[in-house]
């Protein structure tokens, strides 16, 4: 009776709370956290690594329903939601986001689900778990509805096989396991109770088989199916038709082939069809135009052929996103007066031309437009159209047009790089965030672009500016204070002149500055020390002078000053830049000693330069993020290479063509993470230490045209990745270390060292103390035997000849002169023959 009354009291209290939500009366009436669930959460906390205190509020003395990321049922007090995603800050230069503040370690997922039996939502996305273990369980987890986004959730040594053997009580609604290094689909899945499954995400794994037919018999309720970015092969099975409730289907970036099946047009509820990046062939079937519910269609990067006409879009009135191109190019055969039944928000085309499809201009709500590998003439009508598009990417085309002062670009994202555009730079509105017109034929000055105060109204929001590889001239102007939001600036490979303006120091957010290959002169302004976020500073191939700046930020990654007129010493402050991976000061007039503190550059000592790349990311509307990979041209291995996406893997020090003198500090040979070292054409001297063999990452090593002396250390043979070696024109002596790859380099890499001998040089080391193998011993014995018999023959012949002709010579003066002349000639010939025989035997 008391229990019955208690239950009624709880129900009555809940009803009263429902009626009085706006009065705040219920604020003090809550059910405390269930003790079993609290214990399960505390067990979870013990198993994870939480260096930043994400779970600091999980105090055993407090109600667990008040803990961070925990939600409970208001009536029962049972934990129903655990929401602990880890966020990262953008924009930033990243290879992978900084997750030092995220949860890490190893967790046992199903053990957590057993302990929290009423959990129906679990989100641990974007954390840094090294292992996420899955085992068979026989407990009641029937309420789990979401297991979402375990990005980088496992270590391959823990999980390479998805094997879920559930009991009959388990009914998962959504199974989301993207980027988990799964390698195979276990057949045991077909016997699991997945009748309630409505969403399955196994994208970004390592599946390489054909799609098993039983997979499409798991549940007829599936409306979300995501298998993108695997290595699935074969044709699409007709069993896919069992999933008649499908709304989202993604097979992009696999190895699926064959034609698009005719029955694809039967998915009446399908809203998203994404099959780009495969090897589908044949024509795009017209019955795709019957998918009246379709919102997004992506059939890009396949091997389709034939034409695309109005029939392919007949009933697609709800279509908002269209990505359609193929190689070889598809032929668009639409009537010039055709008006599509849809209004697109996103459109991606390729291989268009020589004329744009006229139906493009009917799209009034277009937000994103991308056209690539096309050729057409852009007239004023086109520029007016794209200026109404929020984001457009027209890079890598052959667009011909003139960007005059009459063109005003108003889009937030503008990419026109690698085209055939001429004229002056266009005007930008304050809405433009990313502007890239690199690699065109634009001319004139940059003044109209940067100094149009009336158009900006002091509200310029530009983050990314790239106008490199054009024909721009004039000075850099002094209007940079209007662009304080700039993060990336590239003005390289133009004909700009003058000094670097001090107003560039107002770019306090600047992370990347490229002013290379221009005609700039003067010193680097000290105002740039205000750019505390500067990671890349590239002013190579100018006429700049003065000392190397000592204020370079401690977080800088690349400093490229080559081919200028910098003088003075190398500042020791460079040693404080612990994350530096590129130090290129070649081809200047720098003098003095090499600093002894270079071993303080930890990124070059511990070989961890690849941990964070030089990729700039920009978040845009919705969930879209744009990534840009910074790049540098570097001279290594005797050639010029451009490093882009792989820039962060390159570690280089180039001090060549300067006036450096003295010995190389031994601390430099502790830079075991260095890939390329060039100290050539200086006045350096001394012996190479044995520790040079510690630089195991070296691929290119150049010490030519210096004054080094002594023997080449045998430890140099330990550099197994060495591809280029140049020790020419020094004073090295002794033998080139034998039995190593050092003999594989050409002799030209050792020339100019008079006392150096041994292969690959032709000079023989006569006093070779090394042990010889049997072949060398046999060759030496043959050589000695030849010399012995040769000398015996000489002696015998000499005695016999002397006795035979001495008397005649004694009495005939003419004979005496002829004889001695002949004898001298024979002596010279015999000497040459002996040398030739010895060299051929060696």
Which residue segments constitute the domains of the chain, with CATH numbers given? Answer: 2-89 (no CATH), 535-770 (3.80.10.10), 788-841 (no CATH)
* Residue with the larger pLDDT of the pair 595 and 286: 595
Q: How far apart are CA 59 and CA 45, in angstroms?
A: 11
Chain mean position to CA 75:
51
Per the structure block, which two tokens stand in for 440? 């065109």
Q: How far apart are CA 93 and CA 518, in angstroms?
A: 26
Residue 723 reports pLDDT greater than 80: yes
The helix (run of H) or strand (run of E) holding residue 827 is helix 813-841
- As a whole-number percent, the residues of the chain with pLDDT over 70 amount to 75
Residue 250 reports pLDDT greater than 90: yes
CB 649 within 8 Å of CB 631: no
| Residue 167 burial by Cβ neighbours in a 10 Å radius (0-12, 13-18, 19+) | middle
pLDDT digits (tens, 9 = 90+) for 623-642: 567 777 888 999 998 899 99
| Strand residues in 441-567 grouped as ranges (E) | 443-444, 464-466, 471-474, 488-490, 495-498, 512-514, 519-522, 536-538, 543-547, 558-560, 565-567
List the one residue out of 144, 117, 110, 107 whose CA is nearest residue 34. Answer: 117
Per the structure block, which two tokens stand in for 85? 């995603």
Q: How far apart are CA 150 and CA 159, in angstroms?
A: 13
pLDDT for 13 equals 44
Residue 90 reports pLDDT greater than 60: no
Full-prediction pTM beyond 0.85? no
Q: Which residues contact 488 (CB under 8 A, 6 or more apart)?
A: 463, 464, 465, 466, 510, 511, 512, 616, 628, 630
How many other β-carbons are positioned within 10 Å of the β-carbon of residue 69?
16
pLDDT digits (tens, 9 = 90+) for 734-787: 999 887 788 889 999 999 999 999 899 988 887 644 444 434 444 444 444 444
* Residue with the larger pLDDT of the pair 212 and 590: 590
Q: How far apart are CA 197 and CA 415, in angstroms?
A: 42
pLDDT for 538 equals 96
Among 156-165, 432-441, 656-665, where is mean pLDDT lowest? 156-165
pLDDT digits (tens, 9 = 90+) for 504-537: 999 999 999 999 999 999 999 999 999 998 999 9
Q: How far apart are CA 151 and CA 803, in angstroms?
A: 101
* Arithmetic mean of pLDDT over the chain: 79
pLDDT for 658 equals 97
Point out which residues pair with 546 in neighbouring strands.
566
CB 526 within 8 Å of CB 548: no
pLDDT for 826 equals 52
pLDDT digits (tens, 9 = 90+) for 95-123: 455 677 788 877 666 667 777 888 877 77
pLDDT for 620 equals 62
CB 557 within 8 Å of CB 579: yes
Q: How far apart are CA 167 and CA 136, in angstroms?
A: 9
Q: Which residues contact 310 (CB under 8 A, 6 or more apart)?
A: 334, 335, 338
pLDDT for 436 equals 95
Among 233-242, 335-344, 374-383, where is mean pLDDT lowest? 374-383
pLDDT digits (tens, 9 = 90+) for 187-205: 555 555 566 778 888 888 8
- As a whole-number percent, the residues of the chain with pLDDT over 90 amount to 37
pLDDT for 768 equals 47
Instruction: Give the pLDDT band of residue 7 (cuts 50, 70, 90).
Output: very low
């Amino acid at each position: 009776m008391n229990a019955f009354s208690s239950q009624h009291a709880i129900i009555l209290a809940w009803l009263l709370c429902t009626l009085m939500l706006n009065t705040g009366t219920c604020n003090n009436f809550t059910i405390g956290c269930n003790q079993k669930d609290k214990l399960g959460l505390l067990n979870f906390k013990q198993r994870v690594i939480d260096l930043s205190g994400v779970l600091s509020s999980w105090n055993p003395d407090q109600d667990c329903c008040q803990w961070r990321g925990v939600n409970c049922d208001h009536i029962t007090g049972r934990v129903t939601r655990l929401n602990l995603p880890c966020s990262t800050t953008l924009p930033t230069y990243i290879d992978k986001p900084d997750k030092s503040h995220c949860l890490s370690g190893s967790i046992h997922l199903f053990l957590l689900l057993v302990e929290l039996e009423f959990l129906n939502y679990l989100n641990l996305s974007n954390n840094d778990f090294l292992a996420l273990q899955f085992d068979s369980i026989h407990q009641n987890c029937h309420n789990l509805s979401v297991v979402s986004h375990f990005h980088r959730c496992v270590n391959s040594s823990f999980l390479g096989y998805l094997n879920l053997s559930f009991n009959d009580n388990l009914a998962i609604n959504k199974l989301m396991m993207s980027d988990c290094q799964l390698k195979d689909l276990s057949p045991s899945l077909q016997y699991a109770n997945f009748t309630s499954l409505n969403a399955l995400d196994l994208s970004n794994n390592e599946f390489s088989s054909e799609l098993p037919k039983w997979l499409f018999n798991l549940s007829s309720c599936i409306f979300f199916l995501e298998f993108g970015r695997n290595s699935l092969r074969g044709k699409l099975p007709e069993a896919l038709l069992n999933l008649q409730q499908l709304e989202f289907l993604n097979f992009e970036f696999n190895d699926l082939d064959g034609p698009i099946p005719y029955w694809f047009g039967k998915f009446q509820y399908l809203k998203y069809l994404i099959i780009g990046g495969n090897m589908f062939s044949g024509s795009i079937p017209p019955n795709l135009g019957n998918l009246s519910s379709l919102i997004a269609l992506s059939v890009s990067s396949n091997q389709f052929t034939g034409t695309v006409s109005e029939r392919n879009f007949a009933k697609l009135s709800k279509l908002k996103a269209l990505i359609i191109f193929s190689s070889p190019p598809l032929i668009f055969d639409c009537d010039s007066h055709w008006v599509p039944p849809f209004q697109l928000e996103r459109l991606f085309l390729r291989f268009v031309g020589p004329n744009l499809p006229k139906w493009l201009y009917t799209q009034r709500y277009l937000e994103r437009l991308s056209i690539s590998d096309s050729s057409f003439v852009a007239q004023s009508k086109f520029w007016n159209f794209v200026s109404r598009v929020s984001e457009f990417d027209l890079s890598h085309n052959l667009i011909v047009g003139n960007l005059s002062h009459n063109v005003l670009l108003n889009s937030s994202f503008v990419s026109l790089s690698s085209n055939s555009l001429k004229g002056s730079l266009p005007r930008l509105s304050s809405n433009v965030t990313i502007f890239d017109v690199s690699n065109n034929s634009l001319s004139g000055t940059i003044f109209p672009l940067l100094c149009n105060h009336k158009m900006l109204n002091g509200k310029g929001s530009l983050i990314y500016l790239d106008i490199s590889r054009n024909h721009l001239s004039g000075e850099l102007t002094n209007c940079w204070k209007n662009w304080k939001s700039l993060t990336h600036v590239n003005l390289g490979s133009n004909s700009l002149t003058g000094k670097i303006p001090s107003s560039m120091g107002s770019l306090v957010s600047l992370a990347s500055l490229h002013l290379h290959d221009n005609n700039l002169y003067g010193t680097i302004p000290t105002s740039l020390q205000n750019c505390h976020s500067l990671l890349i500073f590239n002013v190579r191939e100018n006429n700049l002078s003065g000392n190397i700046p000592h204020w370079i930020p401690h977080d800088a990654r690349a400093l490229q000053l080559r081919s200028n007129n910098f003088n003075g010493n190398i500042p020791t402050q460079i040693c404080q830049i612990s994350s530096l991976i590129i130090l290129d000061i070649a081809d200047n007039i720098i003098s003095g000693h090499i600093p002894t503190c270079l071993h303080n550059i930890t990124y070059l000592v511990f070989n961890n330069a690849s941990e964070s790349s030089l990729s700039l990311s920009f978040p845009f509307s919705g969930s879209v993020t744009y990534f840009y990979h910074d790049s540098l041209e570097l001279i290594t291995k005797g050639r010029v290479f451009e490093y882009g996406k792989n820039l962060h893997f390159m570690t280089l020090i180039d001090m060549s063509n300067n006036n450096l003198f003295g010995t190389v500090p031994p601390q430099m040979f502790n830079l075991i993470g260095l890939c390329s070292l060039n100290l050539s054409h200086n006045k350096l001297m001394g012996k190479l230490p044995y520790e040079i063999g510690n630089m195991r990452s070296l691929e290119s090593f150049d010490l030519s045209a210096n004054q080094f002396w002594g023997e080449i250390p045998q430890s140099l043979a330990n550099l197994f990745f060495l591809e280029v070696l140049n020790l020419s024109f020094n004073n090295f002596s002794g033998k080139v270390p034998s039995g190593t790859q050092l003999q594989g380099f050409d002799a030209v890499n050792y020339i100019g060292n008079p006392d150096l001998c041994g292969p690959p040089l032709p000079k023989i080391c006569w006093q070779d103390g090394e042990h010889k193998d049997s072949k060398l011993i046999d060759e030496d014995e043959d050589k000695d035997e030849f010399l012995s018999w040769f000398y015996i023959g000489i002696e015998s012949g000499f005695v016999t000849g002397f006795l035979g002709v001495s008397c005649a010579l004694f009495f005939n003066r003419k004979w005496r002169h002829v004889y001695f002349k002949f004898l001298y000639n024979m002596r010279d010939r015999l000497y040459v023959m002996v040398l030739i025989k010895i060299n051929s035997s060696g």
